[in-house]
Structure formats: structure tokens, C-alpha cells
Chain A
Amino acid sequence: MLIIKLALRNLFRNTRRTLLTVLLIGCSLSALILTDAVLLGMVDVMIESLTKTLSGEAQVHRQGFTDNYDVDLYMPESASIESQLENDPSVAAYASRVISGGMISSSYNVGAGIIYGVDADQERHLSKLAAAITLGHYLEDANDILIGEPMAELLEIKLGDRVVITQAEANTGELSQALFRVAGIFKFGVRELDSNIVFINISQARKILGIKQGSHEIAILFHDVSSADLDPTGLLSSLTDDTTEALGWRALNKDIAAMLEMTNYSSLIVGAILFFLASLGVINSMFMSIYERIYEFGVAKAIGTRPFDLFQLIMVEALFLALLSCILGMSVGAILGEWYATNGIPLGEMEISGIAMNNNIPTVLASHQFTNFPVYVILLTLTAALYPARFAANIIPTDALHRSL
């Protein structure tokens, strides 16, 4: 008990220095908590943006379709897959799509693009297509077409203008054409989507391609995004066989998934840098405290205090310093984290690896930030205090008594 009493009182002998050190370590901890919370928030926003803009959290295709988007590789029995999705409790929404490349021509220009034939009702619940329309309206009539802003500029068209889509039919390869009227101009905020994709009704798409039924892709949204990884009802595995494959968003976007995984290491790197600097502060503070008390330690050793007792004393002082810092760091981290979780961090409109980030990023506070990180702080502070503690333990009484008088 005496060692605890001594350590606590010693800690507040120089209140200003102790508070400055506590501020240094505490701010490092809160910075780490916030950094991690921002990264978690950014990952969540990126995943949401990636999956909810257009692609969904999982997709079902004919085996090999995603290799080169061969128009012949459609799923003729897609209706039965839709019926299975309809009955699966983990599925929140799904949308069938007919996808093919083609030429889009206006009176002034011509451009290549990807034609998405979509079910207007299904698509409304799955993607942000309806919300991305900046001019005009969503798909209503059979010959409506939705075009991205950059493509509209390229084709020099406006609402109500007519465009012609030219495609090769599935199976036969024969050229087929159809006339559409521009019903809406959209902007997802992702250049790749806005410049290259047009949307028409799925029935029209099937007609141009000569497909009576079926689709190339069924995009799925789950009630919980983790279902795409965990597949709790076995849906994705049941939809994967010799002819079809059902893949979650990570498998569909391997590069992006890998990049998101890398963000975990970002916290580690930021933490390492912050705590290296904080450790230097701890060492400095402890040494200053020891040098101020060197005569006192000389007397303490002279009257019979063992070297290990002094070592323990310094380590307990460091422990209290770390605990105080953790209280401060966790409090500041929680308050700021909570505030930014509600209000978000405004980043403006930006695109990272083809993912639109046009929302405020809300921070995500997680339990590990308040359990693991403080433990790291305590361990690192104690590690930083080892050297000063050893120095104090090895003080030679006669040297200490001579040095300070």
C-alpha cells in the first residue's frame, strides 16, 4: 500500500509535468481511437457505396460470364433463382439484369457503352439508380433510356432526344437495333459508371438480344451485409453449381477487398508512430522526475530501500500515469467519436478506386478501441518506463548524495 501511496503522491509533486505527460499519452490514445473510428467509418461507407450504388452485395451469374461478359452466357432459368431469392429470409432485395455491350448513336455522335436492361421496380430497391437521376425521370415507358451525364455530353443529347442502340443478338450474333427516348440523365458520381452505362427496361433488352427469358446477372442485397461473407442460410452456396455461380462482393471486387483489408494496417501504423512519440515523452518525463529526486533516492537506498523497491516504485508511477492517460484518452476519444458518428466528417465528393464517396463519413466506435488500445497504452508506457526504473534502481547512494548537495 505504501508504494501505491508514494507513487500517487510522487506523480502529483509536479502536477504540470504530470498533466502534460498525461495529455501527450492521452491525446495519442484518443487520436488512435479516432483514426481507427474514421477508418472503420470509411470502410463502411466504401462498402456501402460499392454495394449499394449498383453492384449489390452479391451477384449470381452463369459460370464464366464475368470473365469477358459474353452475351451468350445468360441464365435462361433465372425466374427459378428469383423465386428462391424471394423466399430466403436473409435477402432484402434482388434485381435481374440483362447486360451487353453495344453502340449508342444520337443525331450528332456515336459512342460505345454497356447496356443494362433492368426491371424498374426491382432496381429501385436494389441500386441508387433512381436516386442518381439529376434530370428527367426514372424508367416508365418501354422505350425510355437513362444515360449518364458524360455520355449525354458525348452524344450531345438532352431529355426527350432519341438514340439508337445497336447490338449483336445472343446466340446468332446478328445485328439488332432499337430506338429509345432519353427519359433521364443520371450521375452516380463514379466516372466509370456515368461514362459507360445506359439503362433500359429489361423486356426491351431481352427483345434486342433475342432472349425470350432469363438474365445475365441477379444482384442481391441482404438485410445484413455480413451475409455476403457468412452466407448464413447457405443461399450463395446453393446457387453455385456447374452452370451458375453466386459470389459475395469481396469475391467480385478482389482488388477493392484487398485495399479495404489494408486499412486495418493503417491503424497499426498510425498507432506505432503515435506511441513511439508518446514513449519518448514518457521516458523524458520519468527521467526528469528521477533526476529531480536523485538525492531522495540516495537517502532511500541508504536507509535500506532495495533496488527492486525503487524499480517497482517507478513502474507503479508509470502505471498510474498510463491509467490516467487512458481515462483521458478514452473520454476524449468517446466524446469526439460519438460526435462525429452523429455528424460525420465531411470529405466532399471524391472517388477512391472507383468507389463514390459523396457522403459525410460517420466514425464507427468499436469495443476494441476501448479495450485493446488502452491495454497497448499501458504496456507501452510500462515498457518506456523500464529504462528510467532500472536507472533509479541502480543509483549508487554515495553518488546520489554527493551529486545533489
Chain B
Amino acid sequence: MTNAVIKTIEVCRYFGEGETLVKAVEQVSITIEPGEFTAIIGPSGSGKSTLLHLVGGLDNPTSGVVELSGTNIANMSGAQISDFRRDHIGFVFQAYNLIPVLSAEENIEYIMLLQGIAGPARRQRVQDMLELVGLNDLGSRRPNQLSGGQQQRVAVARAMASHPDIILADEPTANLDSKTGIALLDVMKELNETHNMTFVFSTHDEKIMSRASRLIHMEDGAVVRDERR
């Protein structure tokens, strides 16, 4: 009996048809266990972001099964999948992760408001999350008053705030300089180790690869190597 956070079975995702058919993801079957710090790596166009979107319920597979915490998310309706993402998945994107008109605190609070968490608990958790990512004093700042690295830390804090089963990060360090990228990764690695939070990255950043406990290599939409460390 497995308690996999993510399980994909022969997942395919095709775009276009006929001569313009692109097989972005082809027959991918992977399993991610709780507490893993996994990087999906490969050259541009290898299908790593598409796979990340599929396991995050942002996209539907052409065929195959995607299970998140034991639930098949392939056939969920718009509102159902939204609720599922809200409660089970945290996202960190490459850039512009935050709602620009809300402060760092409000951005973190936003997802908990969607979850219907009561005010005092919500505000306490916002402070806890800001402390986790080392931004205690910057909660009232809006995204445009934060550096790129600080914005990504707020995005991580927001992703953690909903207490998800897994955090999916799509090229989170792509827009950061090397030093800021390392600092962000250290925060995420610490969260992984201290809170047993499961992280899956789509990346070709060497810094992430060197810290990952597992590397899933993709080429032309298929997994060509699955390397555990």
C-alpha cells in the first residue's frame, strides 16, 4: 500500500492535431512520496512544465491518470479542481506570483480567506509563515516594494499557508540572481527538512538540482531517467 502524494499512470498530453500534433508529455508514470525534494529537469520543450501543470491540476491530460493524495483529479469540474488546488497544492511560479494590489500579508491571507479560515487563526498563521521565510518586518509591503527574492519568499509563504500536501514550483529561481536564488532554495530546503513538506520543481537550475533528493530527467515529453539520491 503506497501513500504517494502524486501518482501518474501513463499520462499523455498532446497539443494540436494531425501534422501539427505536439506530444508534450508522453506515457509518463511517476510516483512522488511525502517529504521528497524532487526536481523535474530537462532542456526547454522537454515537457517538464507541462507535467508540473498536469500534476497540479492546472491542465487536463489527453489520457492517463493523475492522482493527488489518492484522488483522481482528471475529471473534476472547474470549482471542484479549484477547491482541490486550494486545499492540497501550493504553487510557486517563475515570477509575478503575487497579487500586486495586496500587501505581503494580504497575499498570504488571501488563500486562507478562500479556505474560510477564521480571522484570528488566519492572522496568526500569516505571521508564522512570514517568520518561516524570514520576512517578519516586511508584511505590510506591497510586491512592488519587495525585491524579486523577497517576492518569491512571500510566494513560498503563501504556498505553505494553506497547509498543502505538496508545493509545486515552476522555475522559481529563473528570475533571481544567483545569491537570491540560493537563499530562496535554502528556505525551501529548510521547510522540506523541518516540516517534511514535499516539493516538486520544474527547473534547469543547477542549484536546485544539487539540493534535490530526486532528479526526474525528461526529454521530448518522456521520462528518460529517474535518479534518487
Q: A304-B162, A398-B58 are in contact. Are A299 and B93 (CB under 8 A)?
A: yes
Distance between Cα atoms of A301 and B159 in the complex (Å): 13
Query: Number of contact residues on B: which range applies?
Result: 20 to 34
Task: Tell whether, in the assembled complex, residue B111 and residue A303 are in contact, meaning their CB atoms are under 8 Å apart.
Answer: yes
Distance between Cα atoms of A2 and B109 in the complex (Å): 10
Task: Give a binary string over A381-405; 1 marks a CB under 8 Å from any B CB, 0 the rest.
Answer: 0000000000000000110010011
**Could you show 12 A-B contacts with beta carbons less than 8 Å apart?**
A10-B101, A13-B100, A299-B93, A301-B82, A302-B93, A303-B111, A303-B158, A303-B159, A303-B162, A397-B59, A398-B58, A398-B59
Task: Give a binary string over B95-121; 1 marks a CB under 8 Å from any A CB, 0 the rest.
Answer: 111011110001001110111000000
- Which of B84-92, B124-132, B133-141 binds A? B84-92
> Apart from A306-B114, A397-B59, what are 7 other A-B pairs with CB-CB below 8 Å?
A2-B109, A13-B100, A299-B96, A301-B82, A304-B115, A401-B53, A401-B93
B95 proximity list for chain A (CB < 8 A):
405
Q: Which of B53, B85, B93 contacts A304 (CB 8 A)?
A: B85
A13 proximity list for chain B (CB < 8 A):
100-101
The answer to whether the Cβ of B190 comes within 8 Å of any Cβ in the partner chain is: no
A405 proximity list for chain B (CB < 8 A):
94-95
Distance between Cα atoms of A210 and B91 in the complex (Å): 105
The answer to whether the Cβ of A122 comes within 8 Å of any Cβ in the partner chain is: no
Question: How many Å from the CB of A404 to the closest CB on chain B?
Answer: 8
Q: Total A-B residue pairs with C-beta atoms closer than 8 Å?
A: 74
Query: Number of contact residues on A: which range applies?
Result: 20 to 34
Distance between Cα atoms of A296 and B101 in the complex (Å): 11
Task: Tell whether, in the assembled complex, residue B83 and residue A306 are in contact, meaning their CB atoms are under 8 Å apart.
Answer: yes
A308 proximity list for chain B (CB < 8 A):
79
Task: Tell whether, in the assembled complex, residue B58 and residue A6 are in contact, meaning their CB atoms are under 8 Å apart.
Answer: no
Task: Tell whether, in the assembled complex, residue B78 and residue A307 are in contact, meaning their CB atoms are under 8 Å apart.
Answer: yes
The answer to whether the Cβ of A295 comes within 8 Å of any Cβ in the partner chain is: yes
Task: Give a binary string over B151-164; 1 marks a CB under 8 Å from any A CB, 0 the rest.
Answer: 00000001100100
Q: Which residues of B contact A (CB under 8 A)?
A: 53, 56, 58-59, 78-79, 82-83, 85-87, 90-91, 93-97, 99-102, 106, 109-111, 113-115, 158-159, 162
Q: Which 7 A-B residue pairs are closest in the complex by CB-CB distance? A: A304-B86, A9-B101, A306-B82, A397-B58, A398-B59, A304-B85, A398-B58
B158 proximity list for chain A (CB < 8 A):
303
Q: A398-B53, A398-B58, A401-B58 are in contact. Are A303 and B91 (CB under 8 A)?
A: yes
B78 proximity list for chain A (CB < 8 A):
306-307
Q: A299-B93, A398-B59 are in contact. Are A304 and B111 (CB under 8 A)?
A: yes
